Amino acid sequence: MENHAVLPKVTAVKMINLQALVPSDWEAVSRIYKEGIATKMATFETEVPSWEEWDKKYIDSCRLVAQLDDQVVGFAVLSKVSDRFVYRGVAEVSVYVSESFRGQGIGESLLKKLITESEANGFWSLQAGIFSENKASIELHKKCGFRNIGIKERIGQLDGKWYNNHFLERRSKTVGN
């Protein structure tokens, strides 16, 4: 009698490619951002800005996209918290993943790479303001070394509803010590 072992089914593993966000990624990035707006728990923005407006808002050196099979499925960027020189090493993070690809580790890959890029560019403190309802994003940030600083109650209104934001921070262990 032959012994036939049952082997697990092998599925192809897709590799996430993380690279610098370039202007030609804007169409995909704006689509993903629009999906975030539609959730009503990712941003207080209600419309996707033009590329020019968006480009001015985010720090040039720390912009990433995640690609699967040459398709942009997520992005991560930093924005200044202040123009004052003393805050030059402090930035706010934004991470967005396309609705069809959420829950697959793409946000975590983007955020970890953004942390590495931020430290390479002299940032010692990263902040995140996350809607209290966005539990997945709060947990993602905690998993990547952010700690909850507090809750900003009724920080903003969207469609007539007040929202609270969890305020999280990650301090670099290598920059600014």
Domain borders along the chain are 17-171
Query: Per this entry, what is the length of the chain?
Result: 177
Q: Quick check: 78 and 59 in contact, CB under 8 A?
A: yes
Class of domain 17-171: alpha beta
pLDDT tens-digit series, residues 68-87 = 998 999 999 999 999 999 99
67, pLDDT greater than 80: yes
136, pLDDT greater than 80: yes
Return the pLDDT at 177.
74
DSSP characters over 61-101: TSEEEEEETTEEEEEEEEEES-SSGGGTTEEEEEEEE-GGG
pTM: 0.90
Q: How far apart are CA 77 and CA 171, in angstroms?
A: 17
Mean pLDDT of the chain: 92
